[in-house]
Amino acid sequence: MQLRYSFRVYPSAGQRSALARAFGCARVVFNDALRVREEARAAGLPFVTSAELSKHLTAVKKTPEQAWLGEVSAVILQQSLRDLDTAYRNFFDGLKGKRPRMGAPRLKSKRDNRQSIRFTANAAWRITPGGKLRLPKIGDLKVKWSRTLPSTLTTVTVVRDAAGRYFASFVVETDASEVLPETTPEVGIDLGLGHFAVLSDGTKADSPRFLRRAEKRLKKTQRALSRTEKGSRNRNKARLKVARAHARVADARREFHHQLSTRIIRENQAVAVEDLAVKGLARTRLAKSVHDAGWSAFVTMLEYKAARYGRTFVKIGRFEPTSQVCSRCGVKDGPKPLNVREWTCKECGAVLDRDINAAVNIAKAAGLAVSACGAQVRPGLVPAPRSEAGTHPKRPTQPVWEQAGIPGL
């Protein structure tokens, strides 16, 4: 499988200028190709192919007006055309129902939050013996290596985010050598807001609420940005402060997701989760908390790490009544409001924790070998048998000595 590794890059002032020039050239090529296709569509002409766009790019580079396109590597310009093809393919697949719907390709702007260029093996980029990343027509970039790459590199993408940080993102091919030894536990995971994740074995992971904790600092930086004049240098400085504050929140959330997902995958042979309707929940009054939790990113990490380490990952349907069914006896007693965190089964009398009971039901719906023992149920008052229930006729009371077998006086 293919994996992506990102590392922080620290370019010099001259290298930042070269990267800005490369970002701009790639953006211009993308926008020009998009205009060519849109003009052909408006004129009723056939769809312009990638080969025709490549020929058009070669001809444009020879004109005096756009001769500056030759100042950057030709590979990143061709990859920009490939990105346009991918955007069109995703758009058409969404119309055909092959993937979730997404909008048509749009023009890129130099004010977009994310700028990127991609180098393939044809660009002759490499990592120097000193540990620097050598890119054609840009130079040797200083990279902060936080871990060792597992295999041969195929492509590298240089990204500049909204906070002004630069990253080098590598795509590597991995084999089955990283498969973990088999283990016994199999768990279901119930994702929530009170607790971020509740496992069927009773483990609960608290929700860090990174955005909620950073709201005070974010409000302060946002107010400072609103006081600045549009187009001024001070406004650009304030905008970077806001972007860096949001980047710290996003980085902390991503690190939490990685640590928790890695621990769950390493300790369990099979993992089951519920397919949550995140878009629907994001339109409710819980929208900010739902976005702060980041369930979709966490589930994606679980899925690819399970495939990487040889674990089983199962996603059940979102309409499974996991919170309505008793994990002990299987009786369904209807929906419950969110404020009910513990309930008693009317059939077997078991006292159930709402989240742990749902996690056990998720594991059972996925076909995993779990039992209600992990649901931390405790037996309640057992109802009397039918023969013993009800009102019995009164019997004449015998004296104490007759009850003991002593003959009466």
User: CA 272, CA 198: separation in Å to the nearest integer?
Assistant: 12
Q: Is the CB of residue 158 less than 8 Å from the CB of residue 135?
A: yes
Q: Is 275 a catalytic residue?
A: no
Token reading at 193? 């807001």
| Marked catalytic residue, from 190, 201, 292, 303 | 190
- Is residue 269 within 8 A of residue 183, CB to CB? The reply is yes
355 in active site: yes
Is there a catalytic annotation at residue 353?
no
Q: Which of 54, 52, 171, 81 is nearest to 120 (CA)?
A: 171
Q: Which of 274, 292, 303, 353 is catalytic?
A: 274
Sheet holding 133-135, edge to edge: 115-119, 153-160, 166-173, 2-10, 139-144, 133-135, 126-127
Q: Name, in order, each residue with C-beta under 8 angstroms of 2's C-beta and a sequence gap of 6 or more.
A: 154, 171, 172, 173, 174
Distance CA 23, CA 162 (A): 14
Q: Which of 148, 323, 398 is nearest to 407 (CA)?
A: 398
Helix (H, G, I), strand (E, B) or coil at 189: strand
Long-range CB contacts (< 8 A, 24+ apart) of 100-107? 105/34, 106/34, 107/31, 107/34
CA distances for 60 relative to 55, 65, 136, 260, angstroms: 9, 8, 21, 50
Strand partners, 344: 351
| Contact status, residue 150 vs residue 156, Cβ threshold 8 Å | no
Instruction: Tell me the sheet residues that pair with 167.
Output: 8, 159
Q: Closest by alpha carbon to 344, among 384, 320, 321, 377?
A: 377
H or E, element range at 244: helix 233-267
* CA quadruple 244, 250, 256, 262: dihedral sign: negative
Spatial distance between the Cα atoms of 126 and 168, rounded to a whole number of angstroms: 12
* Catalytic residue IDs: 190, 274, 355
